[in-house]
Structure 1
Amino acid sequence: MTTDAPDPPPSPSTRQRYAPATDSPSRNVPTSPQSSRSPLHRLASTYAALPNSSVNAFCGASAGIASGIVTCPLDVIKTRLQAQGAFRPRTLGRPSRQVYQGLVGTAKVIWFEDGVRGMYRGLGPMLLGYIPTWAVYMTMYDFSKDYFYPRMENKWLSRISASIVAGACSTLATNPIWVVKTRLMAQVSEHALSDHRPPWQYTSTFDAFRKMYRNEGIRAFYSGLAPALLGLTHVAIQFPMYEYFKQRFTGLEMGEATAQGEDVLGILGATILSKICATSATYPHEVLRTRLQTQQRSLPSHDHEEISFRGGHRGRGHYTRPPGTASSDGMINIPRYRGVIKTCTIILQEEGWRAFYNGMGTNMVRAVPAAVTTMLTYESMRSLHQRLKREEELRYAEEP
């Protein structure tokens, strides 16, 4: 490491942790025979030598996996509440009875119909999606900050711009995975009421990809992309506010840590406050995205599963089900929701403005622990990298 000033002398405790250098100066490995045989020590040295871009990707992926495992049941409940009403028939009378009511009520219905597997339905694509989503996001956010900071005097504007760029990259890269995840989470038991049963049934993540591509085409994987991009307003609020609160509580920016480690309480406070603000301000876009992602776009009039669709026609003598619900009259599906504005209009007319906040309480219960798990994991992994890097630099400074 090249510096203007000479390296400070290592502390006695640091000297005791490492043995003297061996006769082979070309090998940048621990010099103690015991350390050189330790896989854990070699792994730590490799991790410390990683560049920041790779560290950001690895830390982001690890944070997303931890968050997905912890919060999957709550995500299933939230998705069921958001999708409720999307599959009901367009009758002339009153709307169908709501099956999912609140956090506890929805959990009871899912547990009764599907058991523990129902609570973790969609975990596979969730984990599959979190790895690239957070890896791309954290990498691009750190890179974008380095790009915008010298070019913008206002740090708030720099962070907002960086969060939007990072969010757009991760959304475009991973939207197909999230569509499959949402479909699987919205899928109910075959014993559920037909009014709330979606017009598809998947047995696995691979089966969902296969059937969606075969029956609906590549465009189905980008259903809900417009409201997903509207969701960039969420990260544009969350991450700048997180950095603001973390600086107020700890004096450090995102990804930074002191030599003593990360301030857990400061990270907790910053994460909770930023997530609550962002979720409260931008929640309706999640309902729009769920409705568009759970809607089946089209099917051929004749398929081997004998499932086909017909638009919900108005007028005398027409008692057909709406698009997105099962029928067997041999007609091709006409999508019920078309675009963000049309979807907003339909939901507002048929269900009222409260439908835009279906599942918000559950989402808040899910989103806050998910954000806490994500940021604590990310900050801890970054702090570990910085600590190991400092130790490696001290060790190399001792070598002649």
Structure 2
Amino acid sequence: MQDPNKLTLGERWAVNASPSQFHALAGAIGGFTSGVVTCPLDVIKTKLQAQGGLNAAQKSHQLGRAQVYEGLVGTASVIWREEGIRGMYRGLGPIILGYLPTWAVWFTVYNKSKIWLGQHSQNSFVINFWSSIIAGGSSTIATNPIWVIKTRLMSQTAHHDRPQFSLHPKSGNTPTSRPTLPSPWHYKSTIDAARKMYTTEGILSFYSGLTPALLGLTHVAVQFPAYEYFKLKFTGRSMGVAPVAGQDEKAHWLGILSASILSKILASSATYPHEVIRTRLQTQRRPIPGQEFMQGLGGVAGEPTHAVGEKPAAPQRQVPKYKGIAMTFRTILREEGWRAFYAGMGTNMMRAVPAATVTMLTYEYSMRQFNQIKANGSRKLQQQIDQPTF
């Protein structure tokens, strides 16, 4: 007969696990679930944000008209028609690889920071604000390379102008030589993207857009203090804390849902322009020595011209279109106007709000399950101690 006080494998783990382990695992589960559910909307948002970096010739070449993507439905139709279901889930690999460590690091550091800052301040808003900044900075620096790859995979199209293009000089069988590539802007997978970015652009390409990403800490600095405030108002419980016995379950989860939606809308509305700037910097390829013409997103490229009988001019030096946050801001404002800073915002809301909602609901549910498993394991251990032996 099976002993009812025998601990299961999950209970043995939970009894010995620390709160940090609970937060990390619950955050990873929440981020993974959110990434899978909202990947198609993330692809559409990235396409809309990045297309402003294309020149008019590239846009008209791709689809025969100046505007490639128009709105949520129009963009989804183009992706579905040209690339099918795989296009809708382009970049899912980096999303999964990115969200798992991002939210695991974020929730762990956030809750540890709250404990540490709580020893120096009694102001809950100050504690939540700075905990969000610290957690966001830690997770951003740790996972930025993954998000650069994700953005590039999502922003590329299925068709390429120069399939036989090769980088110069041609590859020799040496460790430092550059490979011959089918296209300078075509990645077949996450590993393929990482290899090509490293061999053609160097290690710094993985940290493209890091500065505006760090400026994006203003987003979490708004979102999570707001979430904590709304959840406390709606449920009477802080983040990650389960409802008390006898509390209305339906009202509790409805409160979490409302807090997630309101906090995400507030944060996205206030900080959206930095996402456009970050996307432009991430999707811009770094100049490659010896490359006379750079095909891809966001480059200022020009081929030398000369009259008949004249000696051809030397190739122009490739200059990136976007350099730093201030220059990128001025370039976008000058060429496209202020509306470009809100390109894809409607789609972003339709992606970000469900993503935040799924993340927080999954996180809260996972935390509740982990704490319940730990309580059951502790109860069984206590019964084993109290049980008389003969």
Identify the TM-score tier after normalising by the shorter chain.
0.7 to 0.9
CA distance in 1, matches of 2:54, 2:30: 34
Report the CA distance shift for 1:308/1:275 in structure 2 as closer, same or farther (over 3 A): closer
CA distance in 1, matches of 2:149, 2:14: 33
Residue 148 (structure 1) aligns with: 117
Residue 285 (structure 1) aligns with: 274
Residue 325 (structure 1) aligns with: none
Q: SS of the counterpart of 2:157?
A: coil
The answer to whether the aligner puts 1:67 opposite 2:34 as a matched pair is yes
Q: CA deviation at 1:43?
A: 2.0
Q: CA deviation at 1:48?
A: 4.0
Query: What aligned pairs does 1:149-298 form with structure 2 within 5 A after superposition?
Result: 149-190=118-159, 200-260=185-245, 263-298=252-287
Contact persistence 1:215–1:300 (CA under 8 A): no
Where does the alignment leave 5 or more consecutive residues of structure 2 unmatched?
A: 59-64, 164-182, 307-313
Residue 373 (structure 1) aligns with: 358
Contact persistence 1:90–1:312 (CA under 8 A): no
Q: SS of the counterpart of 2:94?
A: helix
Task: Give the alignment partner of residue 117 of structure 1, picking from 82, 86, 103.
Answer: 86
Which letter maps to 1:235?
V
Q: Residues 69-95 of structure 1: CA distance to partner in whole angstroms, max 9, x if unpaired? A: 00000000000000012121589xxxx
Contact persistence 2:208–2:281 (CA under 8 A): yes
CA distance in 2, matches of 1:330, 1:313: 8
Q: CA deviation at 1:114?
A: 0.4
The answer to whether the aligner puts 1:395 opposite 2:380 as a matched pair is yes
The answer to whether the aligner puts 1:341 opposite 2:310 as a matched pair is no
Q: Residues 252-295 of structure 1: CA distance to partner in whole angstroms, max 9, x if unpaired? A: 11011135486211110100000000000000000000000000
Contact persistence 1:297–1:333 (CA under 8 A): no
Residue 13 (structure 2) aligns with: 46
Which letter maps to 2:341?
F
Residue 16 (structure 1) aligns with: none
Q: If the length of structure 1 is used for normalisation, what is the TM-score?
A: 0.81
Identity %: 53
Q: CA deviation at 1:150?
A: 2.1
Q: Once structures 1 and 2 are overlaid, which stretch shifts more, 242-251 or 45-54? A: 45-54
Report the CA distance shift for 1:35/1:98 in structure 2 as closer, same or farther (over 3 A): farther
Q: If the length of structure 2 is used for normalisation, what is the TM-score?
A: 0.83
Contact persistence 1:302–1:308 (CA under 8 A): no
Q: CA deviation at 1:191?
A: 6.3
CA distance in 2, matches of 1:105, 1:78: 12
Q: SS of the counterpart of 1:180?
A: helix
Contact persistence 2:302–2:316 (CA under 8 A): no
Q: Provide the aligned length of Structure 1 versus Structure 2.
A: 347
Question: Alignment RMSD, CA only?
Answer: 2.7
CA distance in 2, matches of 1:257, 1:129: 27
Q: CA deviation at 1:54?
A: 1.0
